[in-house]
Structure 1
């Protein structure tokens, strides 16, 4: 529980009253910011589409120029001298192109605006083969560094078609990326905005700002999926220049000119006014909270804390022994004063009932003493009863031992010896039950019970280390005392049977006892050995031994079932309900399962 002073509680109540207002303000701010984000994303995509149309306009102009060149008679005739003169005189009027070349079908430069390129083999350039296969349509190539000048260019190529419509060569040129950058720069980007144009491989051919840093470099791998995306979109990213932007992009596959185009709007510029308004709103809210808190504190001190302190002082004096202390408050003055008046009334009643309380406490002390005396007496009686039961078991065991020495018949001696062993095992079960349930008679811990019982069995019936008994009981399994008796006797009978019969041809052996949950309503007990195993199934089915009759009785007390497995070894598996209160039963005996 949170501990707060009275003044803090008043401030907390005031804060709770302000919370709905703050919630509305926060919600409105979040909604405005979300709407603004949607608008900015739409604007970024629209700006990217506008840039794509601009690039389409530029390439459309280049397409018209290249078609005009391809249709020129000197080019159609591949007149080397006439073609060269034509292109040399034409080049100054086309500053967007670095050079213009006419290539034959083998990719060799036949003529061009740069005479030094004549004879150059460009057949390995992708734009050459694409132009021949593109049926007279303009091919926008990939970012390239010119072999002759070393300039960064964007190749453009168009097939020269003959009268029969078949390619006769290629007119190729390169768009000057510096010119392209200067042309795009005239678009006047928004402050801290960005514009990126890349070829279909994601290599940047134009970039604002910082073109000198990025032109010719590949778009980072993290942004490459935007180049190959299936639809235009927007995303908020931190650009390569470190500025946070909302980016609108057109994938290369959807751009009219086969180029990737993206425009970015700086997040600071897009949300700057909203952030400033949010800061002003926050400042006003904080000021209102401070004023409200101050007023609550002041009024709480004057109207609440003073009367409460008066009541607290009276309580402290009463605790110190001043029975005459009173607050002298009147219930008509307010709720807190009514509390003080109630305190005064209570003090009067408390003084009046002092003698009755003392008498009641004396009676309680006497009752507690009597209960303790009875508990000690019950403990003594329980110990005495257990002691007498153990003495009775020992007397019976001694009587059977005397009888064994007097009987000469081997069968009778064996029967009396088995009875003596069972009396001893019952005594062990009784001792373990008494030790475990002496403080709590409702249930016993199965793991502790079986562990103690097997230790006693080893001490009583195993010579040396001939037989080792292992116990694996699931933690937390609890048995009723009735279940404990039946289960203990059943385990004892199975263990004694294994000790006597399972290892006749061996010096050593192991008996393993496992107890755990078989389902939500059943427990499973397993007693198994690694001995020679039981007789054949036919012999077990007709056996009528006393041990098997005892097992059958224990099973009926547990409401359990028994299955026997083996050889090799012998494995007894018992399933019985978790919550059954085992005890004597009067039902007819069940058929025997097998001899023990």
Structure 2
């Protein structure tokens, strides 16, 4: 850096404190104005929120007043609500802020009566926003609803009206506040009209960000939805003020009272553009800066003239010598006529430095040749290491992709397993009650007509069949989620496909031509037939959807032998051996590379949310991998898709055949066994139906709702229970933990597990010293078989092997 430049910097350093003081003053003034504006906008937002609270509180008072009217709380309003309708219409006409008033029953959602102006779809409680309001136990503000019959919408508010006298059922009054009235109210009730707040914008939204009212309303033709920069202010926990960047990069001070504050469900936002209010401060600052800048420019000019006269000319001679040195001429020397000046001393130092550099240059050239040889050797080693690293990275990426797919399927599996567990509890309750009804109908007296009995038995039989199909559905969900073992056995895939093609031909429609090319002497596959059938049917339906104008669907089977290290081994990612290959190809629209890469992702679909769940191909992938095989997709856009299933070959066909289950004996009548059974289940409905079944089989039953209650009850039972039935999934202490606790307390009665959870292992059952296992939903005959098994265990004093029971279920 030149000395003249240093002189200029020195002058600027003297001016720096003045500039700093001016900037500091401006910053303090700006911060003070900002704090004042923040307080003003927050106060206005809080006052507007208080105004909204009073409007909502008027709805509460309206509900209290309507609850006192005889025509509204009369029990006859459910059958004839004309008086109630007239009364609500009169109230609505006197209160112009309401679009309509409607009275509902929160028990069944029935519209009891309504004023004029009520939309027709509310009569059947079909509106999506209505159930949430009917579940309210006090007062609840809904979401802004658009009314297609009018230009503006309305804000529904529900008030719970408890019954006054004994036997009175509660009511819910829904009052729809007119959005236009709310807009006009905000304009007329604007609190602060000072010049500082003249440019402020007041916005009231519901909990989803739909704008209920805006002052001033300059966007009547725009969408009634809060902008993205404002939506982050809606769901805060407490009121506050934030400085944010709005549209066009403008700084906005926004005060907010969130929807979590009363009135719950409404957010008040007061926004103010900051630059419009700090223009006077900025103008004064600019004037001060112009004066200081002019003085700085004059000082800089004087410094530049002095530096050129006394500094630039001497240094130019030194620079000429330095340029020659930079170009490689180290023999050049700097010469100055003024021998007594400081620059002459610098010239002598530079000349000495040039001589030293000339000597070192010779030494550097000798070392450079040696270093170049070493660099070439290191470069060759790095190239070899890089090649090895690229190979390892490719393998790792492939492994990470497979792990990512497995993690996604595991997440879906956890969801499906949880749903299946809860669904099994409901099915167990329904199935048990149906069987108890069937037994009661069979034991009916002579006053029952035979035709009535037959008709009830047929209805019960149909409902029982539906529950059985529901149980099969949960089994498939558990199999898909890999929480239940597949019932794999040697399967003739060709025979399965012939039956499926007959069904698919009529299902796919006339536009789709189904062609089968089934290989002769096809090996049997070790798979679950029902799961394979569901997977192939999913693929056929996907192929049909890919051919909206019709096309050709080809199903081909072949035997494939995969050798170790072969190309098929690398593509299919399976162990070497024999496989049955099922290829399903279509002439449809095909897939893009992006869609093909995500085809097996759970919930990924190109059909839209109303046409597909996105689980079809994920289920196919899970079945194939769990069976020990693989699935691959080959697709070209506008040319078609081919999906190839690779299923493991069944080497031992006879080992998979199972003997038919022995028929259960006839159910005994009441009062045969007279033994005490302890039933423990946290689900009240399942526990009650299990107790009724056991009593119907002639047993005395004690029951508990959890582990701690069961341990306390066992100590009090006299005599001790002969048999114990435990549910697995219970809060606090599960069934296996409870079984171990009972054994530690010396309870030797046989214990069985009754559960809808499918991920129990044989080690878990053995650890709990269990004598039986029963899957939900179960029939009374299955319960009878379990009790017989437990009695046998009690007589022999040994625990039976549960391996077959676990495998069958």
TM tier relative to shorter chain: 0.3 to 0.5
TM-score, structure 1 normalization = 0.47
TM-score, structure 2 normalization = 0.35
Higher Rg of the two aligned structures: 1
